[in-house]
């Protein structure tokens, strides 16, 4: 098991003009608190409003989730994470 792991959850598709949520979950398998920086970047076909950069403090052996609301400008599928 990795000391820190990231999981991205989003709908399998987005319809133009309709908001949808993307959930970013960071799991911490270590015995220490860890801070992780989450950065949201622009992508073609998606509008985003709000904090683009933030820090998640993840307690030992726990997980923390943050949620972003996005709006697709065109119908699309296959949202991915960049590492």
For the chain, what is the largest distance between any 2 Cα atoms, rounded to a whole number of angstroms?
44
Helices within the chain (DSSP H only): none
| pLDDT tens string 17-50 | 999 999 999 999 999 999 999 888 877 888 887 7
Compute CA distances 65 → 6, 27, 76, whole Å. 10, 9, 24
The CA-based angle 38-41-45, given to 5 degrees, is 140
Rounded to two decimals, the pTM is 0.79
* pLDDT, tens digit (0-9, with 9 covering 90-100), for 2-20: 899 999 999 988 888 999 9
């Amino acid at each position: 098991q990795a000391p820190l792991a990231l999981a991205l959850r989003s709908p399998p598709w987005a319809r133009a003009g309709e908001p949808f949520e993307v959930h970013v979950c960071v799991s911490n398998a270590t015995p220490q608190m860890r801070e992780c920086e989450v950065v949201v970047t622009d992508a073609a076909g998606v509008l985003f409003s709000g904090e683009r950069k933030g820090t998640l403090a993840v307690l030992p052996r726990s997980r923390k989730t943050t949620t972003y609301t996005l709006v697709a400008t065109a119908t699309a599928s296959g949202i991915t994470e960049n590492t």
